């Protein structure tokens, strides 16, 4: 039977890289996206052309009321396409970042970041946990910012720190089913997150590279490789952990 992974926010950046990497490890992948995009369509076609299987499904983390229907549609799709009624890996990657100093953060900013990154992710896990196979994996994307600090990131960092705490608790709650729950904390990575600042701003990239042990910022595939490792059997004795993938950033 095929192993199946769901990757949220898989239409671009880290999520897209993760979907491609997991498929390269033989998993069938469900790529979720808030809005349809050419990147998602292309990724599904590439994964299928490479000999694995993939499908795209719409999912908006802001719309918690849609999660029950999403779970039902997910179960229907994987049963009809791949002969399964459960999934094996859930990668909680989707999220937003709104940054600003204390005096600049608005109530709308707060509600958007906490609503998407924390509220949305928590209730999606709640909706999909019954559909996760015993022995499955939950991998939640956090940030190296929960270890070091940077001005203007307090709200975003708070949402990620909360996810790390939830992940540790879920490792205990779901451990009786053999489900492992871990968080991955990327450091500065050249993606389109935050308007592509890390990818496109050479001065910012060089500055952070100079404060990283390996002397550069990360690439999406490098974070995706770490996620794939956590999804594998080789990491079967690892749960309730925060694993930073930052190249030794800001030590």
80 Cβ neighbours under 8 A, 6+ residues apart: none
- Residue 111 designated active-site: no
Closest CA to 57 of 41, 46, 68: 41
Q: Which residue spans within the chain are E strands per DSSP?
A: 4-7, 28-33, 54-58, 87-92, 132-141, 180-186, 242-245
178 Cβ neighbours under 8 A, 6+ residues apart: 134, 135, 136
Q: Cα angle at 28 between 27 and 29, to 5 degrees?
A: 105
Which of 156, 182, 208, 239 does the annotation list as catalytic?
156
Q: Which residue numbers are catalytic?
A: 156
């Amino acid at each position: 039977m095929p192993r199946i992974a769901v990757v949220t926010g898989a239409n671009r950046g880290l999520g897209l890289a993760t979907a491609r990497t997991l498929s390269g490890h033989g998993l069938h992948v469900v790529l979720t996206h808030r809005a349809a995009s050419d990147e998602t369509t292309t990724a599904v076609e590439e994964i299928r052309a490479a000999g694995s299987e993939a499908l795209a499904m719409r999912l908006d983390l802001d719309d918690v009321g849609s999660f029950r229907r999403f779970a039902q549609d997910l179960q229907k799709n994987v049963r009809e396409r791949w002969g399964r009624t459960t999934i094996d890996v859930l990668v909680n990657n989707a999220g937003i970042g709104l940054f600003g100093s204390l005096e600049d953060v608005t109530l709308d900013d707060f509600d958007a970041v906490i609503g998407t990154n924390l509220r949305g992710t928590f209730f999606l896990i709640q909706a999909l946990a019954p559909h996760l196979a015993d022995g499955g994996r939950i991998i939640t994307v956090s940030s190296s910012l929960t270890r070091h600090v940077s001005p203007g990131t307090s709200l975003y960092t708070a949402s990620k720190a909360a996810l790390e705490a939830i992940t540790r608790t879920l490792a205990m709650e779901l451990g009786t089913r053999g489900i492992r729950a871990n968080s991955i904390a990327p450091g500065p990575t050249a993606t389109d997150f935050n308007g592509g600042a890390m990818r496109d701003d050479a001065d910012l990239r060089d500055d952070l590279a100079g404060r990283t042990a390996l002397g550069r910022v990360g690439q999406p595939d490098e974070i995706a490789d770490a996620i794939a490792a956590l999804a594998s059997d080789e990491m079967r004795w690892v749960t309730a952990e925060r694993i930073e993938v930052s190249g030794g950033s800001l030590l």
